[in-house]
Amino acid sequence: MGMRVLFASAEVAPYSKAGGLGDVAGSLPRALVDLGHELLVVTPWYARLGAAARPLWIGDVDVPFAGDGVRVGVGTLEEGGVRFAFVGHPSLSRDRLYGYADDAWRFALFARAVPEVARRVGFRPDVVHANDWHTGHLPVVLARGWHLPEGFWHLPSVFTIHNAQHQGVSDLAETLYWLRLPAELAGSFANHYGRYNALKAGAGFASRVTTVSPTYAQELTRPEYGYGLDGAFRSLEGRLVGILNGLDVEYWNPATDPYLPAPYDARRPNDKAASQVALRERFGLETGLPVLASVSRLVEQKGIDLLVAAGPRLVNAGWGIVILGTGEPAVEAAALSLAADNPGRVGVHIGYDEDLAHLVYAGADAFAMPSRFEPCGLSQMIAMRYGTIPIVRATGGLLDTVEHGRTGFLFEHATADGIVWAAARALDVGPGTDRWRALQLDAMRQDNSWRRSARRYEALYRAARSAP
């Protein structure tokens, strides 16, 4: 029988997105609807919503918050069988999603508003799914909060960690006061070295805790990856499970992709050549070079600095390199100077460019992800679907989705040497050879669709309901 699932997220593509969380919140609810469930997605009403979305304002609700409570607006729309409720408040209606001094307050208010908003739209959930620190308060409020609408007290909850680096740390007493939680929770799992930690709180109070790949679930329990919460994650023992994210295989489909000069897929892989020509022309690369590409945020996590450091050796080995990305100024500058030193061999475009990203995925031979950590990663799945062989660090979701020597190449160490080593293994096989084509076909045929993952969330919701 279908369940009613309340899904709360600070990002939902295509309305708002800063990273993988937005993609998941955009895709998983739809996949669950396809399995016969009823979904309400509650998300902030930012000043500028993507896809020119215009929620219908249906009224205000009073949220029990801090001293006097706070009034928020509610907007709704429906898309692809999923109902969306947007929470409106001046503190949320800003240009950027995050990065403000009052983020802790903003998202405490958002999370605390979720039950009231659900009641306002007449949605009585069977289970609540919260995501990342912004909604980590929700499992606590459901388990221990006061002033909840009827039917919400002790609702089973699932909490998903998309990235443990961001934890939502704030003053302990103040945050409990905002959320109107009992003061004795100062001694609970929400406390991390004397401060309120929203990510830890969500993990501690939820009925079930997940993260976005089986390997990241294990890594989180180690000091190198836990960002100070490894002990907390260890104490969850069997309660923390990894479920891989899926890929939107309709949007990312080389057979129908409007940004490519010619469609192709595993049945007619040779037409990828047109995209390869177009990519080389776009970046002024010499013909005949195998191209190793990256489409990425240029931040420490992604290790693009390592790719740039390896650049001269990769060029010597015979690679052409393409980098599309934006982020930390130092990494941007280093990438640009690598391109300036290697005209015809290295092309760099600084910026966020969705159209160009499609051409890079299609037109490259190999795709580099030297991530220092990678909870799941979508880019490697996109690359594989486009017959572009991933060369990735053996961490998190990269280890769970790429098989060394069959669908890609893995390296152990987050160093320039690591990339150079794995790229040499790729050249041993050699783009254009029969063995390379076998890799491409295996990569293109891998099933990374959401359907499989949605089934696993479904099973988890059922488990949470029968034993919260």
212 in Cβ contact with 397 (< 8 Å): yes
Q: Region of 258 please: left (phi>0), alpha (psi -120 to 50) or beta.
A: alpha
Q: Convert residues 358-387 into a mask of x (bound to ligand ADP by CB under 6 A) and - (unbound).
A: -------------------xxx--------
- Using the rule CB under 6 A, which residue among 155, 158, 357, 422 binds ligand ADP? 357
Preceding amide of 14 cis, omega within 30: yes
| Smallest distance from ligand ADP to CB 450, Å | 14
Shortest Å distance, C-beta 172 to ligand ADP: 30
Least separation in angstroms between CB 250 and ligand ADP:
14
Structure tokens at 64: 């029990």
| 353 part of the interface to ligand ADP, by CB under 6 A | yes
Of 20, 26, 202, 408, the one binding ligand ADP (CB under 6 A) is 20
Beta strands 70-79; 56-63: pairing state: antiparallel
- Contact region for ligand ADP (CB under 6 A) — 118-126, 200-208, 255-263, 351-359? 351-359
398 binds ligand ADP (CB under 6 A): no
Give the contacts of 357 (CB within 8 A, at least 6 positions apart): 295, 324
Residue from the set 12, 15, 19, 130 that interacts with ligand ADP by CB under 6 A:
19
- Comparing C-alpha atoms, which of 110, 129, 137, 113 is closest to residue 202? 137
Token reading at 408: 């890609």
Of 156 and 325, which CB lies nearer to ligand ADP in the complex structure? 325
Q: Does 297 bind ligand ADP (CB under 6 A)?
A: yes
Q: Which is nearer to ligand ADP, 414 or 429 (CB)?
A: 414
| Nearer to ligand ADP among residue 23 and residue 116 (C-beta) | 23
Each as own residue / partner, the long-range contacts of residues 338-345 (CB below 8 Å, 24 or more positions apart, any chain) are 338/308, 338/311, 338/312, 341/312, 342/311, 342/312, 342/315, 343/284, 344/284, 344/285, 344/286, 345/285, 345/286, 345/289, 345/315, 345/319, 345/320, 345/321
Q: Does 282 bind ligand ADP (CB under 6 A)?
A: no
**Residue among 68 and 354 whose Cβ is closer to ligand ADP:** 354
d(CA 148, CA 115) in angstroms, rounded, equals: 7
Nearest distance from residue 397's CB to ligand ADP, in Å?
Answer: 8
Asked whether position 326 contacts ligand ADP by CB under 6 A, the answer is: yes
* Site size for ligand ADP (CB under 6 A): 15
Which part of the chain contacts ligand ADP (CB under 6 A), choosing from 173-181, 277-285, 295-303, 334-342? 295-303
- Residue range at the interface with ligand ADP (CB under 6 A); choices 74-82, 221-229, 264-272, 353-361: 353-361
CA 468, CA 466: separation in Å to the nearest integer? 6
User: By CB under 6 A, which span of 129-137, 218-226, 263-271, 348-356 interacts with ligand ADP?
Assistant: 348-356
Considering the complex, state which of residue 179 and residue 443 has its C-beta at the smaller distance from ligand ADP: 443
SS3 52: helix
Q: Pick between residue 326 and residue 446 the one whose CB is nearest to ligand ADP.
A: 326
Do 406 and 247 form a contact (C-beta atoms < 8 A)?
Answer: no
Q: Binder to ligand ADP among 229, 295, 321, 464 (CB under 6 A)?
A: 295
Kindly list the distances between the CA atom of residue 66 and the CA atoms of 43, 63, 90, 152, 181, in Å, as whole numbers in the listed order: 21, 9, 17, 20, 10
Q: Which residue in the set 325, 387, 390, 396 belongs to the binding site for ligand ADP (CB under 6 A)?
A: 325
- Window contacting ligand ADP (CB under 6 A); options: 93-101, 114-122, 310-318, 352-360: 352-360
Pick from 135, 275, 296, 407 the residue near ligand ADP by CB under 6 A: 296
Distance CA 304, CA 291 (A): 16
CB of 324 to ligand ADP, least distance (A): 5
- Of the pair 128, 357, the CB lying nearest ligand ADP is at 357
Phi and psi based region of residue 188 (left: phi greater than 0; alpha: psi -120 to 50; beta: remaining): beta
Nearer to ligand ADP, 157 or 163 (CB): 163
C-alpha–C-alpha distance, residues 186 and 175, integer Å? 10
* Tokens 């205000």 found at: 60
Instruction: Please name the residues in contact with 178: beta carbons below 8 A apart, sequence gap of 6 or more.
Output: 65, 66, 105, 108, 109, 112
Helix, strand, coil in percent for the chain, rounding step 5: 40, 20, 35
Q: In the Cβ-directed half-sphere of 178, how many Cα atoms lie within 13 Å? A: 22
Mark residue 254 as left, alpha or beta (left: phi above 0; alpha: psi -120 to 50; beta: remaining): alpha
In the bound state with ligand ADP, the residue whose beta carbon lies nearer, of 20 and 139, is: 20
Cβ nearer to ligand ADP, comparing 295 with 315: 295
Of positions 57, 352, 451, 452, contacts ligand ADP by CB under 6 A: 352
- The residues binding ligand ADP (CB under 6 A) are 19-20, 295-297, 324-326, 352-354, 357, 377-379
